[in-house]
Amino acid sequence: MSDNTHDPTNDPMAIRALALACRDAAQAVAALSTDAKDALLHAMADALDADADAILAANVEDLRVAEAKGTGGAMLDRLRLDPARLAGIANALREVAALPDPVGMVTRRETRPNGIAIERVRVPLGVIAMIYEARPNVTADAAALCLKAGNGVILRGGSEAICSNVAIAAALQRALQAHGIAPAAITLVEDLRRETMVELLRLNDIVDLAIPRGGEGLIRFVAEHARVPVIKHYKGVCHLYVDASADPDLALDLLLDGKVARPSACNSLETLLVHVDMAEAFLPRAAAMLRERGVQLRADPRALAHMSGAVPATDDDWDAEFLDLVIAVRVVDSLDAAIDHIRRHGSDHTEVIATRDEAAAARFVHALRSAVVMVNASSRFSDGGELGLGAEIGISTTRLHAYGPMGAESLTIERFVVRGAGQTRNLKHAPAS
């Protein structure tokens, strides 16, 4: 598809026309009532159900191409749809419909001494470009959340999922049309050449925000080429620090949940830091438990002494997002040494302390700048649903606008609405009367 130079959509400038159409449609979306948006989201879910056969057939084609290319198992699994997964995607849209509408929310009110009344009101961002990789569910999820927040969305998924994405987008756009909204409100980019993505990322007069989600290479590419604002969803090198005062059983629970339950998730643990006074009591049990679950242990010399079956950690292991059944383990001399390690090696995503010492917890929270800091709770709660946002478009590691899990509200912006009775700032009298 990306080699078809006869396709008129393969003109890189055509992306500008697509984006302009999306912006026009976004104005109509921004004006929709909450009820209208929620009805639309239900219609989108119903359209996915109705098109299930076509979407699954398209997905089979994507899988066939991927297998022919020798794509590996984890990637194939992310790409694969089946009736249950597709029903889950449709139901996720119905759940987005049930969320509160962030648009129009008045977040603050104030009347100034001169009588002007000021409101801060949430309005949509405008046009959001979503840049992602192989997971076709993102096509529906991102479209739904952007639409809930009154925005237009330009979806640029990976080539591996292009047939699935085209089929899903067709269903969603049919629902838009049935509700009198231009299908461009949910625009799928089918020209997947890099230069077209670069062109999209340079449309800073049209696109209000780009959200890249995927591997390090994709994020770096977007950050390098974008002239539109970018909120990065970068890697999660998440730490569990087991303090000298920790409850060892509680810490083992956090370790097991954080490392083993879903190692491919960005909120899973990659590094375990253990206070030296806790090492002897904690590490042998941790090692036995993790080995039993097939976790590979990479330990610094002091941890190695307490962890049978571990191999020595290399310098690179402290910065690695393994996304697999691997964990790096280090013994630290103090809370401050743990903080220092996380400051050097963390990715600002999620950090956890297990402790019974409130002062230590407070210092850990205060000293670290990560988006999410947990005290005696699993890193796996670093998720929009678990943190009460309802659904998430991703987890921001950019320290601007939104930091951590981003829900529908993060796809809006507060602006000022001021109401007066003719107040002026510098006039000393009413000159006209």
Task: Considering only the stretches 33-41, 59-67, 75-83, 365-373, report the one whose residues sit in contact with a copy of itself under the rule CB under 8 A.
Answer: 365-373
Q: Judged by CB under 8 A, does residue 401 bind a copy of itself?
A: yes
The DSSP-derived string for 266-332 is TTSEEEEEEEHHHHHHHHHHHHHHHHHTT-EEEE-HHHHTT-TT-EEPPGGGGG----SSEEEEEEE
- Assess contact for 158 and 134: CB atoms under 8 A: yes
Residue in 212, 263, 346, 405 binding a copy of itself, rule: CB under 8 A = 405
d(CA 342, CA 29): 43
Q: Give min distance, CB of 72 to a copy of itself, in A.
A: 24
Task: Considering only the stretches 64-72, 162-170, 171-179, 204-212, report the one whose residues sit in contact with a copy of itself under the rule CB under 8 A.
Answer: 204-212
Q: Judged by CB under 8 A, does residue 366 bind a copy of itself?
A: yes
Q: Give min distance, CB of 306 to a copy of itself, in A.
A: 16
Q: Which of residues 142-201 bind a copy of itself (CB under 8 A)?
A: none
Residue in 50, 87, 105, 116 binding a copy of itself, rule: CB under 8 A = 116
Task: Considering only the stretches 137-145, 167-175, 190-198, 358-366, report the one whose residues sit in contact with a copy of itself under the rule CB under 8 A.
Answer: 358-366
d(CA 56, CA 207): 31
Task: Considering only the stretches 77-85, 304-312, 316-324, 423-431, report the one whose residues sit in contact with a copy of itself under the rule CB under 8 A.
Answer: 423-431
First-to-final CA distance of the chain: 69
Paired tokens of 344: 């050097």
Q: Give min distance, CB of 17 to a copy of itself, in A.
A: 18
Residues 6 or more apart from 24 whose CB is under 8 A from it? 182, 184
Q: Judged by CB under 8 A, does residue 433 bind a copy of itself?
A: yes
d(CA 172, CA 2): 23
Q: Give min distance, CB of 392 to a copy of itself, in A.
A: 12
DSSP 8-state secondary structure symbol assigned to residue 14: H
Q: Which is nearer to a copy of itself, 116 or 244 (CB)?
A: 116
Task: Considering only the stretches 43-51, 56-64, 78-86, 393-401, report the one whose residues sit in contact with a copy of itself under the rule CB under 8 A.
Answer: 393-401
Q: Which of residues 29-88 bind a copy of itself (CB under 8 A)?
A: 30-31
The sign of the CA dihedral 341, 343, 347, 353 is positive
Q: Which is nearer to a copy of itself, 161 or 185 (CB)?
A: 185
Q: Which helix H or strand E contains 127, and what residues bound it?
A: strand 127-131
Q: Judged by CB under 8 A, does residue 287 bind a copy of itself?
A: no
Residue in 51, 141, 243, 257 binding a copy of itself, rule: CB under 8 A = 257
Which one-letter amino acid corresponds to residue 243? D
d(CA 347, CA 364): 16
